[in-house]
A and B are shown apart, each in its own frame.
Chain A
Amino acid sequence: MSERWSAFSYLVTNLARLIRPDEITFSGVNSTFPMLACLMAKRAYDWDFIYINVAGGVDPDVEHIPLSSSDPALAHGSASIFSNEDFYDLCTRGRMDLTFLGAAQIDGEGNVNNSVIGDWHHPKVRLPGGGGGAVMLPTARRACTWRTEHSTRTLVNTLHFVTSWGGMDSVVTPIAVFKKRNGRLALESWHPEVTLDEVRERTGFSFEHDGATLTPRPTGAERDALQSLDPEGRFEADAAVTIR
């Protein structure tokens, strides 16, 4: 019996696995998981990529990992500042290879609601809003998201409001990885400690799962990289994310 794979590690590791060699990859505000994933990929893999972030950092040499994913610490050691207007313009002119965007609700096509629970004009819950999403999701070459809760209220058939359209390329939750196939999110792999039935029961939209497998466990390099980023488990404790 191998050791348990925490939801926190599952999320960060599978987000890091979405990053590809050489590509321009962006992490933004309110995005602790993608920030950790980008920093993890830099440490865990033997190839490099171009990491830019909302603090203006370009391949920063981050000395201490901040709690806020827009902290100026993420520009430490950067040889240039690529500011907010710059990275949005880069995206709309078609040169953002990969951006991570947050999501409160995700539908089966990978569209996103970040605005409200309930009616927009009379919301039950006013959410933060989509930030870059409405502009980045349709214009980035790939956009990926994560959700710390895998349930029928977060992965839904019908969004309460379409903040951002264009379909996420991939979605990572504490128990599953979805990838867009023919315009719909399809299951790519699932957490080895849950069943396919459980993933299906906890997902509000229908999805294909042909060829889906158990998610490969973290490699030694991935485990070491995450350990070095969060040696005291501070981020893991803050995230308070669980499989169930």
Chain B
Amino acid sequence: MSSSGHISKNKIIALEELAAKIPDGASVALGGSFLHRGPFALVRELIRQGRRDLEIIKQSPGYDIDILCRTGVVTRARTGIVAMEGNFGLAPWYRRRIEEGNLLLEEHACASLTAGLRAAAYGVPFQPCGGLQGSGLAALNGWQTLEDPYGSGESVYVIPAIRPDFAVIHANEIDAQGNTRVLGTSHWDRIMSRAADRVLVVAERCVDTLTFVDRPEATLIPYFLVEAACVCPQGAWPGSNYPDYEIDYPAIDAYLAPGEDALERHLASAPEVRATAERSDTHV
């Protein structure tokens, strides 16, 4: 019998191996929000590995979905709001993909996407979601209403379960077993980690399990839900990772420059590439 959990005591693998777990065609929930604490190093690794036909699930993606659109990795998306934010405006390559008819969008409100993830996390086929009255999104997505079976006379929209194949979370700290801690707001990472079939974590640093034992209530994801993880300092670049670093605005400006060269330079200047280069230097 296979276990429902991941018992291994050493789950730390290389970023390349972590990304290789996600096959073409997979649906992937990405943690964080806009330019904050997104698993961007892993997103870039998916590009380097030439992944195709991914579905991205995230309430508020920005840089991540934009660069995946720019490189033709993503073909489907479920989102609530998409922008570069931090005064950069619309996500240009995402916008272009949709306007050209090359990205199939299921447009949500952030909370309706959360409701779908909750349904999956709760193990039920659908989940009521407050609001949505009068919104064109309901007809667009075929969302149904149910009348309260207990007789209040109230009706509520119900959102079908959204069960991503993967959730990929960028965290501040992990231990070798996969216990995961996030500092500051967890955005939607918690519900993603419960809704997805498989959970992968990219962390700024690996710490001793005793650090988690000291404050177990601060652990966002217990180790047995985590299949594998990697340690990638600065992995949320060019976004922020509280409290370690802020948004690298010049790097986003450089990313937004048109042309293959700009993209190549952007990918080559990423922290995970510099780290690999430094590692091979030391080995020589």
Binding site for B on A (CB under 8 A): 29-30, 32, 54-56, 66-73, 75, 81, 83-85, 88, 91-93, 111, 114-115, 120, 122-139, 161-166, 238
Contacts and interface: CB of A to CB of B under 8 A. Distances in A.
B131 A55 contact: no
A68 B188 contact: no
B99 A163 contact: no
Contact of A67 (B60, B82, B249): B249
A162 B99 contact: no
Contact of B188 (A84, A91, A120): A84
A134 B136 CA distance: 9
Main secondary structure of the interface of B (DSSP, over half): loop
Contacts of B186: 81, 83
B132 interface: yes
Nearest to A132: B110
B234 interface: no
Interface string B9-49: 00000000000000000000000011110000000000000
Interface stretch (B202-210, B239-247, B264-272): B239-247
Nearest to A114: B81
B80 A81 contact: no
Given A68-B35, A84-B110, A138-B134, A129 B85 contact: no
A130 B35 CA distance: 18
Given A70-B36, A138-B132, A165-B135, A131 B81 contact: yes
B81 A126 contact: no
A130 B134 contact: no
Contacts of B184: 55-56, 72, 75, 81
Contacts of A137: 131
Query: Interface range on chain B: under 10, 10 to 19, 20 to 34, or 35 or more?
Result: 35 or more
A138 B112 CA distance: 14
A132 B82 contact: no
A85 B83 contact: no
A206 to B, nearest CB: 21
Interface of B: 33-36, 59-60, 79-83, 85-87, 90-91, 94-95, 98-99, 101, 107-112, 114, 129-137, 140, 184-188, 190-191, 240, 242-243, 246-247, 249
Contact of B247 (A71, A84, A126, A131): A71
Given A56-B185, A85-B188, A134-B132, 19 more contacts: A30-B34, A30-B83, A66-B86, A67-B249, A70-B34, A70-B60, A72-B185, A84-B59, A84-B185, A111-B134, A125-B99, A129-B82, A131-B59, A131-B80, A135-B109, A136-B131, A139-B131, A165-B134, A165-B135
A166 B134 contact: yes
Residue of B81, B114, B249 with highest tally of chain A CB at under 10 A: B81
Given A75-B184, A124-B99, A135-B129, A67 B81 contact: no
B35 to A, nearest CB: 6
B185 A75 contact: yes
Contacts of B94: 126
A88 B135 CA distance: 17
Interface-central residue, B33, B136, B184, B242, by most chain A CB under 10 Å = B136
Contacts, number: 163
22 contacts: A29-B81, A32-B87, A56-B185, A70-B33, A81-B186, A83-B187, A84-B59, A85-B190, A88-B114, A114-B81, A128-B82, A129-B81, A130-B109, A130-B135, A134-B135, A135-B109, A138-B134, A139-B131, A161-B136, A163-B136, A166-B133, A166-B134
B99 A126 contact: yes
Nearest to B105: A126
A165 B185 contact: no
Contacts of B90: 126-128
B192 to A, nearest CB: 11
Nearest to A55: B185
Contact of A132 (B34, B109, B185, B191): B109
B60 A131 contact: yes
Contacts of B35: 68, 70
Nearest to B131: A135
A120 B80 contact: no
A230 to B, nearest CB: 13
A170 B98 CA distance: 32
